[in-house]
Structure 1
Amino acid sequence: MARGPNIARVASLIGDNARAEVLSALMAGCSWTATELADTAGVTRQTISSHLGKLLDAGLVEVDQQGRHRYFRLAGGEVAELLESLMGLAARSAPSRPRFGPREPALRKARVCYDHLAGELGVLIYEEMLGHGLLERLDGAPRLTEQGGAWGARIGIDLRHAAGRKRSFCRACLDWSERRHHLAGWLGAALLKHILDMGWAQREQASRAITFSTDGEQSLRALFQVSGARDPAAAELQAAAWQQERWT
Protein backbone atom coordinates (compact mmCIF):
# COMPACT_ATOMS: atom_id res chain seq x y z
CA MET A 1 0.00 0.00 0.00
CA ALA A 2 1.31 3.47 -0.87
CA ARG A 3 2.47 5.46 2.17
CA GLY A 4 1.64 8.75 0.51
CA PRO A 5 -0.27 10.12 -2.49
CA ASN A 6 -0.48 7.52 -5.21
CA ILE A 7 1.47 8.80 -8.22
CA ALA A 8 0.46 5.92 -10.50
CA ARG A 9 -2.68 7.64 -11.84
CA VAL A 10 -0.92 10.88 -12.76
CA ALA A 11 2.04 8.97 -14.20
CA SER A 12 -0.23 6.83 -16.36
CA LEU A 13 -2.03 9.92 -17.67
CA ILE A 14 1.20 11.65 -18.67
CA GLY A 15 2.66 8.38 -19.99
CA ASP A 16 0.16 8.07 -22.84
CA ASN A 17 1.73 9.28 -26.10
CA ALA A 18 -1.22 11.38 -27.25
CA ARG A 19 -1.69 13.02 -23.86
CA ALA A 20 2.06 13.65 -23.63
CA GLU A 21 1.87 15.46 -26.99
CA VAL A 22 -1.03 17.56 -25.69
CA LEU A 23 0.80 18.52 -22.50
CA SER A 24 3.99 19.31 -24.41
CA ALA A 25 2.08 21.61 -26.77
CA LEU A 26 0.51 23.44 -23.82
CA MET A 27 3.99 24.05 -22.37
CA ALA A 28 4.11 27.06 -24.72
CA GLY A 29 1.82 28.77 -22.20
CA CYS A 30 -0.97 29.34 -24.73
CA SER A 31 -4.53 28.03 -24.80
CA TRP A 32 -5.49 25.57 -27.55
CA THR A 33 -8.82 24.28 -28.80
CA ALA A 34 -9.59 20.57 -28.79
CA THR A 35 -9.37 20.52 -32.60
CA GLU A 36 -5.89 22.06 -32.55
CA LEU A 37 -4.76 19.60 -29.90
CA ALA A 38 -6.20 16.67 -31.86
CA ASP A 39 -4.16 17.70 -34.89
CA THR A 40 -1.05 18.08 -32.77
CA ALA A 41 -1.48 14.68 -31.11
CA GLY A 42 -2.46 12.96 -34.37
CA VAL A 43 -5.75 11.61 -33.05
CA THR A 44 -9.44 12.06 -33.91
CA ARG A 45 -11.69 14.72 -32.37
CA GLN A 46 -13.57 12.04 -30.46
CA THR A 47 -10.37 10.57 -29.04
CA ILE A 48 -8.98 13.94 -27.97
CA SER A 49 -12.20 14.66 -26.05
CA SER A 50 -11.61 11.53 -23.99
CA HIS A 51 -7.99 12.45 -23.36
CA LEU A 52 -8.82 16.02 -22.36
CA GLY A 53 -11.55 14.81 -20.02
CA LYS A 54 -9.04 12.65 -18.16
CA LEU A 55 -6.51 15.48 -17.95
CA LEU A 56 -9.21 17.82 -16.62
CA ASP A 57 -10.30 15.31 -13.98
CA ALA A 58 -6.70 14.94 -12.81
CA GLY A 59 -6.22 18.70 -12.54
CA LEU A 60 -3.44 18.77 -15.13
CA VAL A 61 -5.27 21.12 -17.50
CA GLU A 62 -7.96 23.78 -17.21
CA VAL A 63 -10.49 25.02 -19.73
CA ASP A 64 -12.03 28.39 -20.62
CA GLN A 65 -15.31 28.75 -22.49
CA GLN A 66 -15.48 31.56 -25.03
CA GLY A 67 -18.63 31.50 -27.10
CA ARG A 68 -18.91 28.07 -28.72
CA HIS A 69 -15.22 27.35 -28.27
CA ARG A 70 -13.36 25.79 -25.37
CA TYR A 71 -9.72 26.62 -24.85
CA PHE A 72 -7.45 24.31 -22.88
CA ARG A 73 -4.30 25.29 -21.00
CA LEU A 74 -2.00 23.83 -18.36
CA ALA A 75 -3.37 24.05 -14.85
CA GLY A 76 -0.41 26.10 -13.66
CA GLY A 77 3.30 26.46 -13.13
CA GLU A 78 3.46 23.40 -10.88
CA VAL A 79 2.34 21.20 -13.78
CA ALA A 80 4.79 22.92 -16.13
CA GLU A 81 7.64 22.34 -13.67
CA LEU A 82 6.76 18.64 -13.49
CA LEU A 83 6.71 18.33 -17.29
CA GLU A 84 10.02 20.18 -17.71
CA SER A 85 11.61 17.82 -15.17
CA LEU A 86 10.26 14.81 -17.03
CA MET A 87 11.67 16.19 -20.28
CA GLY A 88 15.06 16.40 -18.62
CA LEU A 89 14.82 12.82 -17.41
CA ALA A 90 13.72 11.66 -20.86
CA ALA A 91 16.66 13.42 -22.51
CA ARG A 92 19.14 11.90 -20.07
CA SER A 93 17.71 8.39 -20.31
CA ALA A 94 17.60 8.27 -24.13
CA PRO A 95 19.35 5.05 -25.26
CA SER A 96 21.29 6.92 -27.93
CA ARG A 97 21.93 10.51 -28.90
CA PRO A 98 18.66 11.71 -30.51
CA ARG A 99 18.62 13.24 -33.96
CA PHE A 100 17.03 16.63 -33.74
CA GLY A 101 14.97 18.22 -36.47
CA PRO A 102 15.42 21.70 -37.95
CA ARG A 103 13.54 23.39 -35.11
CA GLU A 104 15.55 21.75 -32.35
CA PRO A 105 18.52 24.17 -32.45
CA ALA A 106 16.06 27.05 -32.03
CA LEU A 107 14.41 25.32 -29.06
CA ARG A 108 17.78 24.73 -27.45
CA LYS A 109 18.75 28.37 -27.95
CA ALA A 110 15.63 29.91 -26.42
CA ARG A 111 12.12 28.62 -25.77
CA VAL A 112 9.09 29.19 -23.59
CA CYS A 113 8.85 27.02 -20.51
CA TYR A 114 5.20 27.76 -19.68
CA ASP A 115 5.65 31.50 -18.98
CA HIS A 116 9.42 32.01 -18.60
CA LEU A 117 12.51 31.71 -20.77
CA ALA A 118 14.35 28.39 -21.05
CA GLY A 119 17.20 27.10 -23.17
CA GLU A 120 20.70 28.52 -23.55
CA LEU A 121 19.61 32.13 -23.06
CA GLY A 122 17.34 31.26 -20.14
CA VAL A 123 20.29 29.63 -18.39
CA LEU A 124 22.40 32.67 -19.26
CA ILE A 125 19.98 34.96 -17.42
CA TYR A 126 20.02 32.81 -14.29
CA GLU A 127 23.80 32.45 -14.17
CA GLU A 128 24.44 36.13 -14.94
CA MET A 129 22.08 37.18 -12.14
CA LEU A 130 23.93 34.92 -9.71
CA GLY A 131 27.33 36.10 -10.97
CA HIS A 132 26.45 39.79 -10.61
CA GLY A 133 24.96 39.37 -7.16
CA LEU A 134 21.38 40.02 -8.26
CA LEU A 135 20.41 36.59 -6.97
CA GLU A 136 21.85 34.57 -4.12
CA ARG A 137 21.34 30.95 -3.16
CA LEU A 138 19.69 30.35 0.20
CA ASP A 139 19.52 26.68 1.19
CA GLY A 140 20.04 25.85 -2.48
CA ALA A 141 17.14 28.05 -3.70
CA PRO A 142 17.52 31.41 -5.48
CA ARG A 143 16.62 34.60 -3.66
CA LEU A 144 16.62 38.16 -4.97
CA THR A 145 19.18 40.35 -3.26
CA GLU A 146 18.72 44.01 -2.36
CA GLN A 147 21.00 44.82 -5.28
CA GLY A 148 18.75 42.67 -7.48
CA GLY A 149 15.70 44.59 -6.32
CA ALA A 150 17.29 47.89 -7.31
CA TRP A 151 18.39 46.36 -10.64
CA GLY A 152 14.83 45.27 -11.40
CA ALA A 153 13.63 48.81 -10.79
CA ARG A 154 16.33 50.24 -13.06
CA ILE A 155 15.33 48.13 -16.05
CA GLY A 156 11.64 48.86 -15.51
CA ILE A 157 10.30 45.74 -13.77
CA ASP A 158 7.98 46.81 -10.94
CA LEU A 159 8.63 44.24 -8.23
CA ARG A 160 5.68 45.53 -6.22
CA HIS A 161 3.37 43.77 -8.68
CA ALA A 162 4.50 40.47 -7.18
CA ALA A 163 3.12 41.32 -3.74
CA GLY A 164 0.23 39.11 -2.69
CA ARG A 165 0.69 36.63 -5.53
CA LYS A 166 0.23 32.99 -4.57
CA ARG A 167 2.95 31.77 -6.93
CA SER A 168 6.63 31.55 -6.07
CA PHE A 169 8.48 34.82 -6.59
CA CYS A 170 11.59 33.17 -8.04
CA ARG A 171 12.82 29.62 -8.27
CA ALA A 172 15.29 27.54 -10.24
CA CYS A 173 13.92 25.25 -12.96
CA LEU A 174 16.16 22.49 -14.33
CA ASP A 175 16.57 23.01 -18.07
CA TRP A 176 16.14 19.76 -20.01
CA SER A 177 18.46 20.74 -22.87
CA GLU A 178 21.19 22.60 -20.99
CA ARG A 179 21.10 20.34 -17.87
CA ARG A 180 21.52 23.51 -15.82
CA HIS A 181 18.98 25.79 -14.18
CA HIS A 182 17.03 28.66 -15.63
CA LEU A 183 14.93 31.23 -13.77
CA ALA A 184 11.25 30.52 -13.16
CA GLY A 185 8.51 31.95 -10.95
CA TRP A 186 7.04 35.46 -11.08
CA LEU A 187 10.43 37.04 -11.73
CA GLY A 188 11.24 34.67 -14.60
CA ALA A 189 7.89 35.46 -16.22
CA ALA A 190 8.40 39.21 -15.72
CA LEU A 191 11.82 39.05 -17.40
CA LEU A 192 10.44 37.20 -20.41
CA LYS A 193 7.65 39.77 -20.72
CA HIS A 194 10.25 42.54 -20.54
CA ILE A 195 12.28 40.90 -23.32
CA LEU A 196 9.24 40.60 -25.60
CA ASP A 197 7.96 44.09 -24.77
CA MET A 198 11.37 45.54 -25.68
CA GLY A 199 11.16 43.84 -29.07
CA TRP A 200 14.38 41.88 -28.54
CA ALA A 201 12.72 38.61 -29.45
CA GLN A 202 9.48 37.17 -30.72
CA ARG A 203 7.59 33.94 -30.17
CA GLU A 204 7.41 31.56 -33.12
CA GLN A 205 3.90 30.58 -34.15
CA ALA A 206 2.86 27.03 -33.20
CA SER A 207 6.19 26.45 -31.46
CA ARG A 208 7.82 26.96 -28.08
CA ALA A 209 10.79 28.61 -29.78
CA ILE A 210 11.71 32.22 -28.98
CA THR A 211 13.72 33.91 -31.75
CA PHE A 212 16.06 36.75 -30.78
CA SER A 213 17.32 39.31 -33.26
CA THR A 214 21.06 39.88 -33.28
CA ASP A 215 20.59 43.25 -31.59
CA GLY A 216 18.08 41.71 -29.19
CA GLU A 217 20.51 39.06 -27.98
CA GLN A 218 23.20 41.70 -27.53
CA SER A 219 20.74 43.80 -25.51
CA LEU A 220 19.90 40.80 -23.35
CA ARG A 221 23.57 40.14 -22.62
CA ALA A 222 24.11 43.84 -21.84
CA LEU A 223 21.10 43.83 -19.50
CA PHE A 224 23.25 42.74 -16.59
CA GLN A 225 25.75 45.56 -17.09
CA VAL A 226 23.16 48.29 -16.47
CA SER A 227 24.63 50.85 -14.07
CA GLY A 228 22.45 53.94 -14.26
CA ALA A 229 18.93 54.07 -12.86
CA ARG A 230 16.17 55.21 -15.18
CA ASP A 231 14.44 56.83 -12.20
CA PRO A 232 16.54 56.84 -8.99
CA ALA A 233 13.58 57.72 -6.76
CA ALA A 234 11.49 54.88 -8.20
CA ALA A 235 14.40 52.50 -7.88
CA GLU A 236 14.86 53.34 -4.20
CA LEU A 237 11.12 52.99 -3.58
CA GLN A 238 10.87 49.59 -5.25
CA ALA A 239 14.03 48.33 -3.54
CA ALA A 240 12.60 49.38 -0.18
CA ALA A 241 9.32 47.65 -0.99
CA TRP A 242 11.22 44.50 -1.92
CA GLN A 243 13.24 44.61 1.32
CA GLN A 244 10.05 44.94 3.36
CA GLU A 245 8.25 42.05 1.65
CA ARG A 246 11.31 39.69 1.50
CA TRP A 247 9.71 37.51 -1.19
CA THR A 248 11.05 33.98 -1.64
Structure 2
Amino acid sequence: MLATSALELHAVDAYYGDSHVLQGVSIRLGQGRLLGLLGRNGAGKTTCMNVTVGLLPPRRGGVLVFGEEVAKLPPEQIARRGVALVPQGRRVFRSLTVRENLVVAARKPMSGGASPWTLDTVYAMFPRLEERKVQAAAYLSGGEQQMLAIGRALMSNPRVLLMDEPSEGLAPQIVADVMATIRKLKASGLSIVLVEQNPKLVFDVADDIVILNTGRVAVAETTDKVEHGGMDLSQHLGVF
Protein backbone atom coordinates (compact mmCIF):
# COMPACT_ATOMS: atom_id res chain seq x y z
CA MET A 1 0.00 0.00 0.00
CA LEU A 2 1.41 3.35 -1.03
CA ALA A 3 1.49 5.87 1.79
CA THR A 4 0.32 8.59 -0.60
CA SER A 5 -3.09 6.95 -1.12
CA ALA A 6 -5.79 9.09 0.52
CA LEU A 7 -8.69 6.85 -0.50
CA GLU A 8 -8.98 3.43 -2.11
CA LEU A 9 -11.93 1.36 -3.17
CA HIS A 10 -10.60 -2.14 -3.76
CA ALA A 11 -12.59 -4.68 -5.82
CA VAL A 12 -15.89 -3.36 -4.44
CA ASP A 13 -19.15 -5.13 -5.19
CA ALA A 14 -22.25 -3.25 -4.05
CA TYR A 15 -25.93 -4.03 -4.38
CA TYR A 16 -29.28 -2.28 -4.03
CA GLY A 17 -31.45 -5.24 -3.12
CA ASP A 18 -30.79 -7.81 -5.86
CA SER A 19 -29.39 -5.22 -8.27
CA HIS A 20 -25.60 -5.60 -8.66
CA VAL A 21 -24.62 -1.93 -9.07
CA LEU A 22 -20.83 -1.92 -8.55
CA GLN A 23 -18.94 -4.89 -9.98
CA GLY A 24 -15.36 -5.21 -8.82
CA VAL A 25 -14.74 -1.47 -8.76
CA SER A 26 -11.23 -0.33 -7.78
CA ILE A 27 -10.45 3.38 -7.50
CA ARG A 28 -7.42 5.12 -6.00
CA LEU A 29 -7.24 8.78 -4.95
CA GLY A 30 -3.71 10.04 -4.40
CA GLN A 31 -3.03 12.34 -1.46
CA GLY A 32 -3.46 15.98 -2.45
CA ARG A 33 -4.85 15.05 -5.87
CA LEU A 34 -8.22 15.57 -7.51
CA LEU A 35 -9.88 12.54 -9.08
CA GLY A 36 -12.65 13.10 -11.59
CA LEU A 37 -15.28 10.33 -11.53
CA LEU A 38 -17.28 10.25 -14.76
CA GLY A 39 -19.94 8.08 -16.35
CA ARG A 40 -23.44 8.11 -17.76
CA ASN A 41 -26.50 8.25 -15.51
CA GLY A 42 -26.76 4.96 -13.64
CA ALA A 43 -23.09 4.05 -14.15
CA GLY A 44 -22.49 3.84 -10.38
CA LYS A 45 -20.87 7.18 -9.53
CA THR A 46 -23.16 8.13 -6.62
CA THR A 47 -23.08 4.52 -5.41
CA CYS A 48 -19.29 4.83 -5.09
CA MET A 49 -19.83 7.91 -2.92
CA ASN A 50 -22.41 6.11 -0.78
CA VAL A 51 -20.10 3.13 -0.29
CA THR A 52 -17.20 5.40 0.67
CA VAL A 53 -19.12 7.27 3.38
CA GLY A 54 -20.77 4.13 4.77
CA LEU A 55 -24.33 4.70 3.56
CA LEU A 56 -24.17 1.48 1.51
CA PRO A 57 -21.85 -1.21 2.89
CA PRO A 58 -20.10 -3.16 0.12
CA ARG A 59 -21.00 -6.83 -0.27
CA ARG A 60 -17.37 -7.55 -1.14
CA GLY A 61 -14.16 -5.55 -1.32
CA GLY A 62 -12.58 -2.87 0.82
CA VAL A 63 -12.54 0.88 1.41
CA LEU A 64 -9.35 2.38 2.81
CA VAL A 65 -8.84 5.93 4.07
CA PHE A 66 -5.12 6.71 4.37
CA GLY A 67 -4.49 2.97 4.60
CA GLU A 68 -7.14 2.25 7.25
CA GLU A 69 -9.99 -0.11 6.37
CA VAL A 70 -13.35 1.62 6.98
CA ALA A 71 -15.81 -0.49 4.97
CA LYS A 72 -17.40 -2.05 8.06
CA LEU A 73 -17.70 1.21 10.01
CA PRO A 74 -20.90 3.25 10.41
CA PRO A 75 -21.06 6.61 8.58
CA GLU A 76 -20.35 8.74 11.66
CA GLN A 77 -17.10 6.86 12.34
CA ILE A 78 -16.00 7.20 8.72
CA ALA A 79 -16.72 10.93 8.97
CA ARG A 80 -14.55 11.11 12.12
CA ARG A 81 -11.69 9.64 10.10
CA GLY A 82 -11.81 12.65 7.84
CA VAL A 83 -14.21 11.85 4.99
CA ALA A 84 -16.84 14.46 4.07
CA LEU A 85 -19.50 14.40 1.36
CA VAL A 86 -21.07 17.31 -0.51
CA PRO A 87 -24.17 15.39 -1.58
CA GLN A 88 -26.01 15.54 -4.87
CA GLY A 89 -28.95 17.93 -4.53
CA ARG A 90 -27.13 19.87 -1.74
CA ARG A 91 -29.46 18.64 1.07
CA VAL A 92 -28.93 21.56 3.40
CA PHE A 93 -30.99 21.73 6.59
CA ARG A 94 -33.67 24.03 5.23
CA SER A 95 -35.21 25.07 8.56
CA LEU A 96 -31.83 26.02 10.10
CA THR A 97 -30.01 29.27 9.48
CA VAL A 98 -26.84 29.38 7.44
CA ARG A 99 -24.77 29.69 10.61
CA GLU A 100 -26.60 26.79 12.29
CA ASN A 101 -26.01 24.58 9.22
CA LEU A 102 -22.29 25.26 9.54
CA VAL A 103 -22.00 24.95 13.33
CA VAL A 104 -23.82 21.61 13.47
CA ALA A 105 -21.17 20.07 11.18
CA ALA A 106 -18.10 21.42 13.03
CA ARG A 107 -15.48 18.84 13.95
CA LYS A 108 -11.87 19.08 15.04
CA PRO A 109 -9.30 17.66 12.59
CA MET A 110 -7.94 14.17 13.29
CA SER A 111 -4.49 15.57 14.05
CA GLY A 112 -5.89 17.42 17.04
CA GLY A 113 -4.19 20.63 15.97
CA ALA A 114 -5.75 23.94 15.00
CA SER A 115 -8.82 23.70 12.77
CA PRO A 116 -8.12 25.08 9.29
CA TRP A 117 -11.87 25.35 8.72
CA THR A 118 -13.91 27.45 11.13
CA LEU A 119 -16.85 29.81 10.70
CA ASP A 120 -14.38 32.60 9.95
CA THR A 121 -12.46 30.70 7.28
CA VAL A 122 -15.64 29.41 5.62
CA TYR A 123 -17.07 32.93 5.58
CA ALA A 124 -13.81 34.18 4.10
CA MET A 125 -14.15 31.69 1.24
CA PHE A 126 -17.88 32.37 0.83
CA PRO A 127 -18.58 36.00 1.84
CA ARG A 128 -22.17 35.56 0.65
CA LEU A 129 -22.77 33.05 3.45
CA GLU A 130 -21.67 35.55 6.06
CA GLU A 131 -24.09 38.09 4.60
CA ARG A 132 -26.88 35.49 4.89
CA LYS A 133 -25.78 33.83 8.14
CA VAL A 134 -29.04 34.47 10.03
CA GLN A 135 -31.26 33.53 7.09
CA ALA A 136 -32.95 30.12 6.91
CA ALA A 137 -31.29 27.92 4.31
CA ALA A 138 -34.64 27.32 2.61
CA TYR A 139 -34.56 30.90 1.33
CA LEU A 140 -31.13 30.74 -0.28
CA SER A 141 -30.68 30.57 -4.04
CA GLY A 142 -29.42 27.32 -5.57
CA GLY A 143 -25.92 28.70 -5.82
CA GLU A 144 -25.95 29.87 -2.21
CA GLN A 145 -27.21 26.47 -1.08
CA GLN A 146 -24.32 24.84 -2.96
CA MET A 147 -21.85 27.17 -1.21
CA LEU A 148 -23.47 26.19 2.09
CA ALA A 149 -23.24 22.47 1.30
CA ILE A 150 -19.52 22.85 0.54
CA GLY A 151 -18.97 25.03 3.62
CA ARG A 152 -20.80 22.53 5.82
CA ALA A 153 -18.53 19.71 4.58
CA LEU A 154 -15.42 21.83 5.19
CA MET A 155 -16.51 22.54 8.79
CA SER A 156 -15.81 18.87 9.54
CA ASN A 157 -12.15 19.54 8.62
CA PRO A 158 -11.93 16.61 6.20
CA ARG A 159 -8.86 14.91 4.76
CA VAL A 160 -10.90 13.55 1.85
CA LEU A 161 -13.70 15.59 0.24
CA LEU A 162 -16.27 13.89 -1.98
CA MET A 163 -18.32 16.18 -4.23
CA ASP A 164 -21.33 14.66 -6.00
CA GLU A 165 -22.57 16.74 -8.97
CA PRO A 166 -21.80 20.19 -7.50
CA SER A 167 -22.70 21.98 -10.75
CA GLU A 168 -26.12 20.37 -11.08
CA GLY A 169 -28.92 22.86 -11.75
CA LEU A 170 -26.73 25.95 -11.43
CA ALA A 171 -26.41 28.90 -13.81
CA PRO A 172 -23.14 29.01 -15.81
CA GLN A 173 -21.63 31.88 -13.78
CA ILE A 174 -22.37 30.07 -10.50
CA VAL A 175 -20.83 26.90 -11.93
CA ALA A 176 -17.68 28.92 -12.71
CA ASP A 177 -17.63 30.18 -9.10
CA VAL A 178 -18.02 26.64 -7.73
CA MET A 179 -15.19 25.36 -9.94
CA ALA A 180 -12.97 28.24 -8.79
CA THR A 181 -13.68 27.17 -5.21
CA ILE A 182 -12.76 23.57 -6.04
CA ARG A 183 -9.45 24.76 -7.49
CA LYS A 184 -8.69 26.66 -4.28
CA LEU A 185 -9.47 23.59 -2.17
CA LYS A 186 -7.22 21.46 -4.36
CA ALA A 187 -4.44 24.05 -4.06
CA SER A 188 -4.77 23.87 -0.27
CA GLY A 189 -3.73 20.20 -0.42
CA LEU A 190 -7.14 18.61 0.13
CA SER A 191 -7.69 15.22 -1.54
CA ILE A 192 -10.89 15.45 -3.63
CA VAL A 193 -13.17 13.15 -5.61
CA LEU A 194 -15.33 15.13 -8.03
CA VAL A 195 -18.35 13.39 -9.54
CA GLU A 196 -19.76 15.25 -12.53
CA GLN A 197 -22.01 14.77 -15.53
CA ASN A 198 -20.09 17.46 -17.43
CA PRO A 199 -16.74 16.00 -18.59
CA LYS A 200 -15.35 19.38 -19.65
CA LEU A 201 -15.59 20.70 -16.09
CA VAL A 202 -13.75 17.66 -14.78
CA PHE A 203 -10.97 17.65 -17.37
CA ASP A 204 -10.28 21.28 -16.55
CA VAL A 205 -9.45 20.60 -12.90
CA ALA A 206 -8.72 16.87 -12.35
CA ASP A 207 -5.31 15.20 -12.01
CA ASP A 208 -6.74 11.73 -12.64
CA ILE A 209 -9.84 10.37 -14.36
CA VAL A 210 -11.93 7.27 -13.67
CA ILE A 211 -14.82 6.47 -16.00
CA LEU A 212 -17.48 4.01 -14.89
CA ASN A 213 -19.61 2.12 -17.37
CA THR A 214 -22.50 -0.01 -16.06
CA GLY A 215 -20.89 -0.53 -12.67
CA ARG A 216 -17.36 -1.31 -13.85
CA VAL A 217 -14.22 0.78 -14.25
CA ALA A 218 -13.79 1.38 -18.00
CA VAL A 219 -10.95 3.93 -17.80
CA ALA A 220 -8.51 4.82 -15.00
CA GLU A 221 -5.72 7.14 -16.13
CA THR A 222 -4.16 10.53 -15.58
CA THR A 223 -6.14 13.36 -17.15
CA ASP A 224 -3.34 14.04 -19.63
CA LYS A 225 -3.36 10.45 -20.91
CA VAL A 226 -7.14 10.44 -21.26
CA GLU A 227 -7.16 13.77 -23.10
CA HIS A 228 -4.22 13.11 -25.41
CA GLY A 229 -4.12 9.32 -25.63
CA GLY A 230 -6.55 9.00 -28.52
CA MET A 231 -9.27 7.31 -26.45
CA ASP A 232 -12.82 7.25 -27.80
CA LEU A 233 -14.80 8.37 -24.76
CA SER A 234 -18.15 8.53 -26.55
CA GLN A 235 -18.87 4.87 -25.84
CA HIS A 236 -18.64 5.55 -22.11
CA LEU A 237 -19.97 9.11 -21.86
CA GLY A 238 -22.26 9.56 -24.85
CA VAL A 239 -21.88 12.85 -26.67
CA PHE A 240 -18.58 14.53 -25.69
- Into which bin does the TM-score normalised by the smaller protein fall? under 0.3
Q: Tell me which protein shows more strand as a share of its residues.
A: 2
**Superposition TM-score, scaled by structure 2 size:** 0.23
Q: Which structure has greater helix proportion?
A: 1
Normalising to structure 1: TM-score of the pair?
0.23
Higher relative contact order (CA closer than 8 Å, sequence separation 6+): 2
